[in-house]
């Protein structure tokens, strides 16, 4: 018979969890509230939490001034495109390292991860020159490539950790039944790894959606995604917090909804193997 | 099943790639329209700019230009000031050719012109180059050629609350000194009521606190470098300037001033928390606007303070439009710049949004216009502030650099940002004024030696 958790412990855990959750969520809530204030109220030295003059003028101003849908479409194409290409590369790479490891596998994994340790600005000029010569500046394809490459190590790691926990016996049984490597990946591994692949896919979409450095530096007018849309609302002279908050809310809304619906898969994929 | 999986995968990748390649066509850089025989060339100009009210207004009014130039399309890239600077610098340095028109400050103009990154501008007689304000025109000129056209310009001045000054029994002199400002700030401070005698920039950054402190140092007789490019932070003039700044802010400034820049001080002033504020003249229109400011009816203007040494705390800045050397659409770009910085554009803004909203600080004729002078009570002070700043002779003692609140050398941004952090630390009290100046001297010496301006002795 399972032991009942003491009530004080449940209360304490709930209070701590809610507090941490609210602290993490507060900046987003504040941004949302600010987007409904006037510029003067948003910049007030003693800001009001709820009792202010609510207005939607910032959303109207942002919608009128900027072509939101063009930015949003670019974000969708770039984040989905880079994720799909990365997935096509990461699945076989992770399979190979999980089921046919060599003595260099661990080193290769560490090397892949180490590429994330270099600040992107360190390779900005070489990449910019390559893109200029290849005609990839300010194109969706250019961003798909760079975001695919920058998120690939994380994707391979996630999938590798997921794959290596799948029992080898099942794959061996398939081989004994005459399955080729392709069939093994498509019919045996993929169905079993759907939760892991889904969480890697979702995480990659979120990372690509929120990426700002390459988006701001490699695009100008045609392929600029929502991160560039947000950046266009900061001003050196004049009040801008309310409009910036409205633009930010509009930019994160789609990915927030996606994250909300997929949170189970995300948490499962990220914590898989953490507790055994 | 196998076939289905492969087909699905191929279709997905093909869709993604076709969508990617389609993006570029959405706003073609040079497209043809109409029938092949009568193909008319349409040029798209990509314009990089900042999110300032005047720039946004220009974007709204561009139909006036495109109606008369149907073969030119405009595409705007609006970015935050620092991002724009980095983005445009990368593109120009690598000749990426992403922009046809760029918005740059007068700090960049001489540096970029010297490196051949900008194309010189030549306008027709109807543009009337001689009408540009002489100080602004000089700042945009390199070796006798105009490399950028000013869109709007600004100086700095002292803005104050007339009601609080009267209550304190004081009268603003025609040319206030820092001595007067310090005394007045202490007298007008009423911390219980949330009124602070003075608001000054404290946020670290070469264009934030260093714009003010460098201008203030000019007034106190200090300079960044001597004629041999040796840093001068170890001089008594710098100590007097920084000590005055820190003291007055500690005694009469708002709490948390080290994180206040232009916008934060603007909000404080508009909410009635500042009795005085020394900053850009462009602020005058904001604090005089009853829609934005709760103290709009009690605002006065005076020249930026001096210290009796012949220079004031006045600075000079202008946002300009220029053509990067990598652009292949020079003629069309110049057409647009001529329109955006013309007298006609000023009249257009006046007709659409009123005289108070025209871009200030670029043309002499604007300050002769009685309608503008009536609509903008701060016009005279703005003109005086711009006329009073001299980018070529900014300091009491001679200097080898151009620029009032900056030194127009490529290294300045990085050095001044570091020095700005030291001075901001002095404001918070985490280091003393002496220590901040020692740190600034050491950091500047190191960078100037590294850049080869002089050798270590």
Average pLDDT of chain A to the nearest whole number: 88
Q: Does B262 contact A at CB distance below 8 Å?
A: yes
Proportion of chain B above pLDDT 70, given as a percent: 91
Give the bridge partners for B146, in sequence order. B141
Which residue from B minimizes the CA distance to A227?
B79
Tell me the nearest-neighbour CA distance from B444 into chain A, angstroms.
Answer: 24
What is the rounded distance in angstroms from the CA atom of residue B265 to the CA atom of residue B272? Answer: 11
pLDDT for position B1: 43
Give every CB contact of residue A111 below 8 A, 6+ residues apart in sequence: none
SS3 B290: coil
pTM of the predicted model as reported, rounded to 2 decimal places: 0.83
Residue B166 has a pLDDT of 96
pLDDT at position B13 over 80:
no
**Helix ranges restricted to H, B341-432:** 343-353, 370-375, 379-388, 412-428
- At residue B348, the pLDDT reads 96
- pLDDT of B71 strictly over 90: yes
Q: A183 vs B382, which has greater pLDDT?
A: B382
pLDDT of residue B9: 47
Q: What are the phi and psi torsion angles at B151 (to 5°)?
A: -95, -45
Q: Give the pLDDT score at A269.
A: 65
Chain B contact set for A233 (CB, 8 A): 51
Name the burial class of residue B38, with classes exposed (0-12), middle (13-18) and buried (19+) by CB atoms within 10 angstroms of its CB. exposed
| Closest chain A C-alpha to B212 CA, distance in angstroms | 15
Phi and psi torsions of B77, nearest 5°? -120, 105
**CA dihedral of residues B237, B241, B244, B247 (deg, nearest 10):** -110
| A272 and B CB contact within 8 Å | no
Which has the closest alpha carbon to A196: A74, A98, A110, A50?
A: A98
Rg of chain A, C-alpha, whole Å: 23
Query: Token pair for residue B85?
Result: 């600077």
pLDDT at residue B15, as a whole number: 47
pLDDT of residue B30: 36
β pairing state of B40-50 and B72-79: parallel
* Segment B318-330, tens digit of pLDDT: 999 999 999 999 9
Contact between chains at A223 and B24 (C-beta distance less than 8 A): yes
Residue B19 or residue B415, greater confidence = B415
pLDDT of B8 above 70: no
CB B292 within 8 A of CB B356: no
Q: How far is B224 from chain A (nearest CA, A)?
A: 25
Residue A110 has pLDDT above 70, yes or no: yes
Which of B24, B95, B195 is the best residue to mutate to test the A interface, defined by the most A CB atoms within 10 Å of its own CB? B24
Q: Does the pLDDT at position A64 exceed 80? A: yes
pLDDT at A82: 96
Q: Does A220 touch chain B (CB under 8 A)?
A: yes
Q: Rounded to an integer, what distance in angstroms lies between the CA atom of residue A194 and that of residue A166?
A: 12
Contact B136, B316 (CB under 8 A): yes
Please name the member of B13, B17, B87 whose beta carbon is closest to the beta carbon of A217. Answer: B87
* Arithmetic mean of pLDDT, A108-123: 88
Mean pLDDT of A234-257: 88
- Report how far apart, in Å, the C-alpha atoms of B298 and of each of B288, B347, B376 are: 8, 29, 15
Kindly report the backbone phi and psi dihedral angles of residue B115, in degrees, each rounded to the nearest multiple of 5, phi listed first. Answer: -85, 0
- Quick check: B34 pLDDT over 50? no
pLDDT for the residue numbered B384? 92
3-state secondary structure chain A: CCCCCCHHHHHHHHHHHHHHHHHHHHHHHHHHHHCCCCHHHHCCCCCCCCCCCCCCHHHHHHHHHCCHHHHHHHHHHHHHHHHHHHHHHHHHHHHHHHHCCCCCHHHHHHHHHHHHHCCHHHHHHHHHHHHHHHCCCCCHHHHHHHHHHHHHHHHHHHHHHHHCCCCHHHHHHHHHCCCCHHHHHHHHHHHHCHHHHHHHHHHHHHHHHHCCHHHHHHCCCCCCCHHHHHHCCCCCCCCCHHHHHHHHHHHHHHHHHHHHHCHHHHHHHHHCCCCC
In the block, residue with structure tokens 């063009």 = A70
Structural domains present in chain B: 40-154+317-375 (3.40.190.10), 156-315+391-450 (3.40.190.10)
pLDDT score for B36: 41
Average pLDDT over residues B2-28: 45
When pLDDT is cut at 50, 70 and 90, the band that residue A164 belongs to is: confident
User: How far, CA to CA in Å, does A139 sit from each of A75, A209, A221, B25, B31?
Assistant: 12, 16, 9, 9, 17
Which domains are assigned to chain A? 73-271 (1.10.3720.10)
Cα–Cα nearest to B54, from B151, B154, B155, B149: B151
Token pair of A220, please?
């100008």
If you average pLDDT over every residue of chain B, what do you get? 89
Res. A273 pLDDT band, cuts 50 70 90: low
- Chain A contacts in chain B segment 165-194 (CB below 8 A): 194
Within a 10 A sphere around the Cβ of B290, how many other Cβ atoms? 9
Backbone angles phi, psi at B187, to 5 degrees: -70, -35
Percent of chain A exceeding pLDDT 70 equals 95
- As a whole number of Å, the end-to-end CA separation of chain A is 22
Task: Give the per-residue pLDDT at B26.
Answer: 37
Q: Do B280 and A232 touch (CB under 8 A)?
A: no
Asked if pLDDT for residue A117 goes beyond 60, the answer is yes
B455 pLDDT band, cuts 50/70/90, is: confident
Tokens 């869709």 belong to B15
What ipTM did this prediction achieve?
Answer: 0.80
pLDDT score recorded for residue A80: 95
Q: Is the pLDDT of residue B439 over 70?
A: yes
pLDDT of A212 strictly over 70: yes
Tens-digit pLDDT profile for residues A77-94: 999 999 999 999 999 899
For residue B429, how many other CB atoms are within 10 A of its CB?
10
Residue B4 has pLDDT above 90, yes or no: no
pLDDT, average across residues B225-240: 97
pLDDT, greater one: B436 or A43 = B436
Residue owning tokens 């709009």: B296
According to the model, what pLDDT value does residue B150 have?
A: 97
In the predicted structure, residue B14 carries a pLDDT above the cut 60: no
Question: Which of B180, B190, B393, B423 has its CA nearest to residue B303?
Answer: B180
Instruction: Give B 41-100 residues with CB within 8 A of chain A.
Output: 46, 48, 50-53, 56, 59, 75-81, 83, 86-87, 90-91, 93-99
Give B294-343 pLDDT, tens digit per residue: 899 999 999 999 999 999 999 999 999 999 999 999 999 999 999 999 99
Residue whose structure tokens are 């264009």: B207
pLDDT digits (tens, 9 = 90+) for B88-100: 988 988 888 999 9
Q: What is the pLDDT averaged over residues B177-203? A: 96
Nearest to A188 by CA among A202, A94, A180, B3: A180
pLDDT above 60 (res A28) = yes
Q: Name the token pair of B379.
A: 């016009």
Contacts of B90 in chain A (CB under 8 A): 124-125, 128, 217
pLDDT band, residue A4 (cuts 50/70/90): confident
In the prediction, which pLDDT does B82 show? 79
Measure the CA–CA gap between A123 and A117, rounded to whole angstroms: 12
Cβ distance A196 to A163 under 8 Å? yes
B348 is written with which tokens? 């257009």
Q: Distance between CA atoms of A144 and A84, rounded to whole angstroms? A: 10
Q: Supply the pLDDT for residue B356.
A: 85
């Amino acid at each position: 018979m399972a032991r009942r958790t003491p009530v004080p412990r449940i209360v304490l855990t709930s209070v701590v969890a809610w507090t941490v959750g609210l602290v993490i969520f507060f900046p987003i809530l504040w941004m949302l509230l600010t987007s409904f204030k006037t510029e003067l109220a948003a910049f007030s030295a003693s800001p009001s939490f709820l009792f202010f003059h609510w207005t939607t003028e910032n959303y109207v101003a942002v919608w009128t001034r900027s072509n939101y849908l063009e930015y949003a479409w670019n974000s969708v194409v770039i984040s989905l495109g880079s994720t799909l290409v990365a997935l096509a590369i990461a699945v076989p790479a992770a399979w190979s390292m999980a089921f046919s490891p060599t003595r260099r596998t661990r080193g290769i994994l560490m090397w892949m991860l180490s590429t994330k340790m270099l600040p992107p600005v360190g390779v900005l000029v070489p990449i910019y020159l390559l893109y200029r010569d290849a005609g990839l500046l300010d194109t969706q394809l250019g961003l798909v490539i760079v975001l695919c490459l920058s998120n690939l190590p994380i994707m391979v790691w996630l999938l590798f950790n997921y794959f290596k926990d799948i029992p080898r016996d099942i794959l061996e049984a398939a081989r004994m039944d005459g399955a080729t490597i392709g069939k093994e990946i498509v019919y045996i591994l993929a169905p079993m790894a759907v939760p892991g692949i889904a969480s890697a896919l979702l995480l990659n979409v979120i990372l690509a959606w929120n990426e700002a450095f390459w988006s701001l530096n490699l695009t100008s007018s045609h392929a600029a995604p929502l991160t560039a849309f947000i950046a266009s609302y900061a001003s050196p002279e004049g009040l801008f917090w309310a409009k910036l908050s409205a633009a930010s809310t509009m930019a994160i809304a789609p990915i927030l909804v996606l994250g909300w619906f997929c949170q189970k898969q995300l948490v499962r994929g990220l914590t898989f193997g953490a507790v055994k | 099943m196998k076939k289905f999986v492969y087909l699905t995968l191929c279709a997905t990748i093909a869709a993604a790639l076709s969508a990617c390649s389609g993006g570029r066509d959405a706003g073609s850089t040079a497209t043809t329209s109409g029938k092949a025989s009568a193909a008319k060339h349409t040029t798209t100009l990509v314009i990089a700019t900042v999110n300032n009210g005047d720039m946004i207004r220009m974007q709204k009014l561009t139909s006036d230009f495109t109606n008369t130039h149907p073969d030119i399309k405009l595409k705007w890239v609006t970015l935050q000031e620092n991002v724009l600077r980095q983005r445009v610098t990368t593109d120009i340095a690598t000749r990426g050719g992403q922009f046809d028109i760029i918005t740059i400050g007068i700090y960049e103009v001489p540096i970029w012109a010297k490196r051949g990154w900008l194309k010189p501008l030549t306008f027709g007689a109807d543009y009337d180059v001689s009408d540009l304000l002489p100080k602004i025109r000089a700042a945009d000129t390199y070796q006798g050629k105009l490399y950028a056209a000013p869109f709007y310009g600004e100086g700095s001045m002292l803005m104050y609350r007339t009601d609080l000054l009267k209550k304190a029994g004081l009268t603003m002199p025609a040319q206030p000194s820092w001595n007067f400002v310090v005394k007045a700030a202490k007298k007008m401070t009423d911390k219980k009521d949330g009124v602070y005698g003075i608001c000054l920039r404290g946020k670290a950054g070469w264009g934030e606190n260093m714009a003010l402190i460098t201008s203030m140092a000019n007034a106190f007789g200090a300079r960044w470098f001597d004629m041999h490019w040796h840093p001068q932070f170890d001089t008594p003039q710098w100590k007097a300037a920084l000590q005055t700044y820190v003291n007055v802010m500690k005694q009469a400034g708002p709490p948390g001033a080290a994180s206040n820049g232009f916008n934060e001080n603007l909000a404080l002033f508009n909410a009635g928390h500042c009795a005085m504020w020394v900053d850009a003249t462009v602020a005058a229109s904001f604090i005089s606007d009853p829609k934005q400011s709760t103290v709009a009816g009690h605002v006065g203007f005076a020249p930026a303070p001096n210290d009796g040494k012949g220079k004031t705390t006045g600075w000079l800045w202008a946002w300009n439009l220029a053509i990067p050397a990598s652009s292949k659409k020079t003629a069309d770009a110049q057409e647009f710049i001529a329109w955006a910085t013309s007298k006609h554009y000023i009249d257009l803004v006046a007709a659409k949004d009123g005289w108070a909203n025209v871009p200030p600080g670029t043309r002499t004729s604007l300050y002769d216009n009685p309608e503008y002078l009536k609509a903008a009570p701060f016009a005279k002070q703005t003109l005086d502030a711009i006329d009073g700043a001299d980018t070529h002779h900014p300091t009491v003692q001679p200097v080898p650099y151009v620029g009032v609140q900056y030194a127009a050398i490529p290294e300045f941004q990085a050095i001044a940002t570091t020095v700005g952090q030291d001075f901001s630390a002095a404001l918070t009290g985490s280091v003393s004024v002496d220590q901040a100046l020692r740190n600034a001297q050491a950091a500047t010496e190191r960078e100037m030696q590294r850049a080869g301006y002089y050798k270590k002795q």
